[in-house]
Structure 1
Amino acid sequence: MKKYFFLSLMSSVVIFNSCNSTDENEIITDPVEQRILLSKVTTVYYDNPASPQTTVSTLEYNNQGQLTKTVSLGESSIIEYNSSGKPFKINHYKADGTLDYYSSFSYNGENLTNIKAIYDETSLNRTINYTYSNGKVANSTLCQTENCSNPIISTYTYNGDNITVETSEMSGGISSSNKREYLYDNQLNPYTFTNKYFRIMMGGAYAMSKNNYASEKISYKDSAGNWVQNQQIIYDITYNSAQLPTQVIGKSTNGTNYVKYNYEYILQ
């Protein structure tokens, strides 16, 4: 589970609880009648175990269940939609309320093709381009210069509706490579009823997959071009009565804390 929330807005043991209530199942399978929407994410990072860092992100919706505002670390993002219900612009505000930059969305039919971040200082502008295979995002390319030199390219491999392998590589003067391999539970993840275009924009396997990580293997590419695993994370998941996660705790195989997520929802 990548240790960020709304990156593009600002991208072996699991506990399974049973769900026997017909009404609860109806909530999940009929989102038009009753939506369970993610309203708050509290994340604790353990990069420095002696001083864990906590971030809180909140999400607000209109009466149609469209995400209209997110707030994190005092900074906010306001979303605008076109007549067909697709997001077309996000204004990103600093903590003091002034506009930092805005994001514009472009589409080809039902596919989101790119998102551009536009700043007053044009050297800060960046673009994420998306390509598709069988209706799913196959690649995303982050361009941080106008000629897209040294892009960061993420590639996704699927098993059904879940991304099982995610690679991210940057070439050029500063090169880096990262691979993550995932196993999943069989429950819906917290972003189930979030607009699909936001799930793409957030980036990464968790937002774009159907279920929740049970484990994650992390590898890097050595000087010979071989992938070398250097970490494995096991996720312990607690669910609510609707079988959506309320807490996810990730630990390394040696028992060291890696990350903790707490999820809160509203019913609409």
Structure 2
Amino acid sequence: MKKHLFLGIMGSALFFNSCSSNDDNEGTNLPSEQPQLLLSKVTTVYYDNPSNPETTVSTLSYNNQKQLIKTISEGRTSTFEYDNTGKPAKTIYYNPDGTVDYYSAYTYNGDQLTSIKAIYADSDGNRTVTYTYNTNGQMTSSTLCQDPECSHPATDTYIYNGNNISSETSTWGGSMTYSNKRDFSYDDKFNPYTNINKYLKIMMGGAYSLSKNNYLVEKISYKDNGVWQQNQTITYTIQYNSSGFPVQVVGKEANGNPYVQYNYEYIIQ
């Protein structure tokens, strides 16, 4: 179930300025000189086992240019490096003991992120994610290949309604192919990832980080003999801070059982 709103804290930053809009800042790579509201901590409670919820805490750190440079989650650290245009160039992932697990290298075609390659000491572990886009520059699919032949790809595809993703379909290849689909409706507030570096949004993936607003309803379906069958509906209740960003998001199943809860904390820098 853990493909929730917060898809693993690989990195996120945002800012709020009363004179700014999402359209004004979309695609900006270099940090703004205006004061920014930066996401500093996310506490997530998963209710896969309602009698024993699982809590994870992720923290985020920034440099004096307001660029995300480090995240820590469940004892694992990730650090981020940028080129002189503000594009992410490298992410290094560390084991809990501080040794390097692997790193990811970013490849661009002009201003478009085309792929991210994870590189391990043992090259058998290497994997690559490639991206495609629509004519509006919105990322419409990502494909994960875990071997050079990409014999068993995992693909996420996205359908947009304006600045929000209305439908996300995930397909995993292998001896058997499995697919699920998530359809969303949204509020009209900015979500925590609104003004994050656009390439980190793409790297993080998922409808929440790529959309402008926050989920209100999520409908989950699986494919059975070629036909989509809806089997879950999640409704989200959101509390906002004075700047209009979420500070708590609570998701519940149709029967009222808890599904997930997120608490967001911010700093001004």
Query: Structure 1 length normalisation: TM-score?
Result: 0.90
Show the counterpart of 1:205: 207
Q: What SS does the aligned partner of 1:200 have? A: helix
Structure 1 residue 105 displacement after superposition: 0.3
Task: Give how far 1:2 is off.
Answer: 3.1
8 A Cα contact 2:61 2:71, kept in partner? yes
Aligned to 2:159: 157
Conservation of the 8 A alpha-carbon contact between 2:9 and 2:73: no
Cα distance between partner residues in 2 of 1:8 and 1:61: 14
Contact 1:27 1:242 in 2 (8 A): no
Which residue in the other structure is 2:226 paired with?
225
Aligned length: 255
Match of 2:29 in 1: none
1:146 CA drift (Å): 1.4
Cα gap change, 1:201 to 1:99, in 2 (>3 Å): same
**Counterpart of 2:120?**
119
- Deviation string for 1:129-164 (max 9, x for gaps)? 000002100110011111111101111000111000
For each residue in 1:75-101, what CA deviation from the matched residue of structure 2 results, as whole angstroms up to 9, or x when unmatched?
101111111111110111111000000
Q: Is the 8 A contact 1:151 1:170 kept in 2?
A: yes
Residue pair 2:6, 2:208 contacting (<8 A) in 1 also: no
Shift of residue 3, structure 1, vs aligned partner: 2.5
- Partners of 1:176 and 1:7 lie apart in 2 by 22
Map 1:125-140 onto structure 2 (within 5 A).
Answer: 125-133=126-134, 134-140=136-142
**Shift in Å at residue 32 of structure 1?**
4.0
Report the CA distance shift for 1:67/1:24 in structure 2 as closer, same or farther (over 3 A): closer
- Please identify, of 69-78 and 190-199, the stretch whose mean Cα deviation from structure 2 is larger: 190-199
Q: CA deviation at 1:9?
A: 3.5
Q: Distance in 2 between matches of 1:57 and 1:3?
A: 15
Could you tell me how far 1:221 is from its partner in structure 2?
0.2
Contact 1:236–1:250 under 8 Å retained in 2: yes
1:6/1:171 CA distance change after superposition, 3 Å: closer
Which amino acid is 1:230 matched to?
N
- Report the equivalent of 1:90: 91
Partner residue in 2 for 1:25 = 18
1:207–1:252 Cα change, 3 Å: same
Match of 1:123, SS? helix
Q: Larger deviation: 118-127 or 183-192?
A: 118-127
Q: Which position in structure 2 is the counterpart of 1:253?
A: 254
| Residues 105, 118 of structure 2: 8 Å contact kept | yes
Q: 2:64 matched to 1:71? A: no
Deviations 1:203-223 (A, max 9, x none): 10000000000000000000x
Give the match for residue 102 of structure 1. Answer: 103
Q: Give the share of equivalent positions with the same residue, in percent.
A: 56
- State the distance in 1 between where 2:247 and 2:137 align: 30
Q: State the structure with bigger RCO (CA 8 A, min sep 6), 1 or 2.
A: 1
Which residue in 2 is equivalent to 1:167?
169
State the alpha-carbon separation in 1 of the partners of residues 166 and 125 from structure 2.
32
Distance 2:154 2:9 in 1: 13
Unaligned runs of 5+ in 2: 26-31
* TM-score, normalised with respect to structure 2: 0.90
